Amino acid sequence: MKRKTMPYFLMAAPALALFFLFHTYPLLQGIFYSFTDWKGYGDWDFVGFKNYLNVFQDKRAWDAYLFTFKFAVVSTILVNVISIIVALGLNAKIKFRKSLRAVYFMPNILSILIIGFIFNFIFAHFLPDMAKSLGFEALSKNILGDPDLAWIGIVIVSVWQAVAFNTILYLAGLQTIPSDLYEAAVIDGAGKWKMFWTVTFPLIAPFFTINMVLAMKNFLMVFDQIMAMTGGGPGTSTESISLLIYRGGFSGGEFAYQSANAVIYFIIILVVSIAQIKFLQKREVEL
Amino acid sequence: MKRWLSTFLVTVLGVSLLAGCSAGGSEAGGSGEQIQLELFSNKSESIDTYKQLIEQFEEKNPNINIKLSAPPEAETVLKTRLTKNDLPDIISMGATQTYGELARAGVLKDFSDYKKLETIQPAYVKMIGKVVGPDKEGVFGIPYATNANGVIYNKTKFEKLGFEIPQTWDQFISQLEKAKQAGEIPIYFTLKDPWTAMVTWNSLGANLAPDNFAQLKNQGKATFQEEYKDVAKHFLQLLDYGQKDVFGVGYGDGNKAFANGKGVFYLQGNWAIPEIVKANPDVKLGMFAFPATNNPEKNRLVSGVDVLLTITESSDHPEAAKKFIDFMLKKETAQKYTDEQAAFSAVKGVFQKDKTFEDIKTNFENGTITGFPDHFYPAGLQAANLVQAFLIKKNTEQFLKKMDTTWNKVLER
């Protein structure tokens, strides 16, 4: 090892060790157990790919994948659109800019579980009561209790919570754009809209990439919101993959089977993320 | 100075060594040394009661400290702790699938020789033995409190409508119809929480399907499609008498609403009663066994072991833990628990005196009792969400088929 790289290595080593211990090692364990029939305790045998084959035949797992992807795609798009708009607003020369930034970041500080419980109350009591007193009969019920609408409730809460973090990233991106570019654009006679599409958006492309990938990954792993708000219900209409793995693996006594599901799930998230990076990086421009 | 220091150190060392010896040497008994026990409970409703009981126990046994842990999703927590070999000393839990698995895994003490087992009603000892199954012999827990599934009713409304306790399904339905016409909500459902559907499912299933359904199903001799048709039909019929938003109300909200006069009937277990009374202390409640069939003699009360007490094999202080269980099984203690939790006792001679339970007392007295069918389902089935989905979609055939295929798949895994 060269003398120059040594300090860097030493700095990274503790983190690497911790990462391996608490992240990589359990992952390898999970992969190992997915080839057994372990229930989480007691004796076990190797069963080969049986668990994997069973996952592919499991209607409940298919439904969970379908729901999770639907949810993740919709939420990712919404989060990115909203957070770009909010970031542009917070980057403009407005009054109370700094305190507004703090206010918009608030949802990200709160625990998702607590947010979930609060919104649970809003959906169960506050909104229906309000709709009733205003005379909207159609809206006077808890949407979390309707299998066709419950996912929308979860999207609303998840997006509300996630926008804060993505906005911060976009804000950071907006600050990397030198102001002389805008001055040049003004001289060329560009309007606000044109300026956004030709200057701002291309230049925050790297941030757009990272936000899309992060948001998609996070939403594919959705868990707490659903746990707090619907518990996967009504029926199994909002059962996400992580929830299914957790429920089936721990309380359902199917540890090895759900480990196999988790490995599949891991590979899918990996593939989706890499594909997104590859695709989105192509359209990034260098200044 | 140095000499002073070394004397001090030697003294400290000596004292600590002595203390160490005595702690390892004898168990429970002796004086001065402290024993720390962990009591794990899966019931959030009984936390306050347990705290008081523990205080009483610690007063009499000053050398034993009991730490109560009652986390949410307790059975899952217990299972994850099992994988880490970090089990509590005493476990207080229901005779559920998890209990069966723990007992089969060999982590619970065998109480077959425990003297106080004689003070427990043998029917319940048998019931928890059935949950463990025939593969593992022994008694791995002491049944303590039992529960009952049925129909809770608002006495004031019930009397105003001129009703009497329905003995048959048809009578029950006609009352529901009358209540509806009188402008009341006949049944208040809390189906946002899937498990609340299992209360009714069990009441119906226990009376309309064969007793050993799970066993037959595992042997391939019975299917949901054949045996549960009536259960599904009856359940759907009941839904017609619910409030407007039956899938939008959860258990907690439902308890409050029922306490405040919404609904004439509430399909729940006795455990809901303290919660309802808490929400409105003036409410007058009654409870009767679910009239699932048209033959009054066939309608049995669904009752199971709600709390059993057991000690883990890995406990360092089994004697002290046993002392606590002895204390819990005393008549006064059991009576206090029974009163506060609106439960029924598995301890002989301890009765629930609350007037609310007058109507189901006869079931206990003449033994028209049966267990919870879903305690014998494979855990991986996760029946509650499937039942909830069925109640929303109302497609009986598809649902029963799904129960069958899922069950088979879970067994194959």
Nearest to A240 by CA among A79, A61, A120, A114: A61
The pLDDT, as a whole number, for residue B256 is 93
* Tokens representing residue B296 in the block: 């009054």
Contact B192 A144 (CB under 8 A): yes
Torsion of CA B93, B96, B102, B104, to 10 degrees: 140
For B254-263, b/e burial (b = at least 16 CB within 10 A) is: bbebbbeebb
DSSP A172-183: HHHHTS-HHHHH
Contact B105 A37 (CB under 8 A): no
Nearest CB neighbour to A232, from listed B253, B385, B390 = B385
Angle in degrees, CA B396, B397, B401, rounded to 5 = 115
Contacts of B377 (CB under 8 A, 6+ apart): B97, B214, B383, B407
State how beta strands B35-41 and B90-93 pair. Answer: parallel
Contacts of A41 in chain B (CB under 8 A): 79, 82-83, 105, 107
Contacts of B98 in chain A (CB under 8 A): 251
Nearest to A128 by CA among B304, B290, B245, B39: B245
Q: How far is A19 from chain B (nearest CA, A)?
A: 20
Report yes or no: B97 at the A interface, CB cutoff 8 Å: yes
The pLDDT, as a whole number, for residue B8 is 55
Query: No. of H helices and E strands in chain A?
Result: 15, 0
Torsion of CA B384, B385, B391, B397, to 10 degrees: -90
DSSP A73-86: HHHHHHHHHHHHHH
Q: Which of A43, A114, A236, A251 is the best mutation test for B, with the most CBs of B within 10 A?
A: A251
pLDDT band per the 50, 70, 90 thresholds, residue A5: confident
ipTM exceeding cut-off 0.90 for this assembly: no
- B389 to chain A: nearest residue by CA? A235
The pLDDT, as a whole number, for residue B161 is 92
Nearest CB neighbour to B105, from listed A41, A51, A143 = A41
Contacts of A239 in chain B (CB under 8 A): 385
Nearest CB neighbour to A145, from listed B192, B409, B412 = B192
The pLDDT, as a whole number, for residue B1 is 45
Q: What is the pTM of this model?
A: 0.78
Nearest CB neighbour to A54, from listed B101, B390, B413 = B413
The CA distances from residue B167 to B288, B291, B299, B310, B359, in Å, are 9, 6, 8, 38, 11
The pLDDT, as a whole number, for residue B11 is 53
Secondary structure element (H or E) that encloses residue B287, with its range: strand B285-288
B413 in helix, strand or coil? Answer: coil
Q: How far is B257 from chain A (nearest CA, A)?
A: 12
Which residues, given as ranges, of chain B have pLDDT below 50? 1, 17-30
Q: How many residues make up chain B in this entry? A: 413
- 């549960």: which residue's tokens? B228
- 């049995």: which residue's tokens? B300
Contacts of B73 in chain A (CB under 8 A): 251
Residue B404: is it exposed, middle or buried by C-beta count within 10 angstroms (0-12/13-18/19+)? middle
The pLDDT, as a whole number, for residue A234 is 84
B268 in helix, strand or coil? Answer: strand
Residue A145 scores a pLDDT above 70 = yes
- A35 to chain B: nearest residue by CA? B413
Nearest to B188 by CA among B301, B305, B279, B300: B279
The CA distances from residue B252 to A88, A121, B86, B259, B279, in Å, are 43, 11, 32, 11, 10
Cβ atoms within 10 Å, residue B323: 19
Contacts of A85 (CB under 8 A, 6+ apart): none
Nearest CB neighbour to A235, from listed B82, B105, B388 = B388
B95 in helix, strand or coil? Answer: coil
Secondary structure element (H or E) that encloses residue A114, with its range: helix A112-121
The CA distances from residue A79 to A88, A120, A149, B56, in Å, are 14, 21, 19, 55
B119 in helix, strand or coil? Answer: helix
* B349 Rama sector, left if φ>0, alpha if ψ -120 to 50, beta otherwise: left
Contact A145 B191 (CB under 8 A): yes
- A and B: number of Cβ contacts within 8 A: 111
The pLDDT, as a whole number, for residue A1 is 53
The pLDDT, as a whole number, for residue A60 is 87
- B248 to chain A: nearest residue by CA? A145
Residues of A with CB under 8 A from a CB of B: 37, 39-42, 50-51, 54, 57-60, 124-125, 128, 141-147, 230-237, 239, 247-248, 250-254, 257
Distance CA B105, CA B95 (A): 15
Amino acid type, A112: I
The CA distances from residue A142 to A132, A222, B251, B385, in Å, are 12, 21, 14, 18
The better pLDDT of the pair A41, B371 is held by B371
The answer for B 173-192 residues in CB contact with A (under 8 A) is 191-192
Residue A192: is it exposed, middle or buried by C-beta count within 10 angstroms (0-12/13-18/19+)? exposed
The pLDDT, as a whole number, for residue B29 is 45
The pLDDT, as a whole number, for residue B21 is 44
| pLDDT tens string A198-236 | 888 888 999 999 999 999 999 999 999 998 888 887 888
* Tokens representing residue A276 in the block: 């997104």
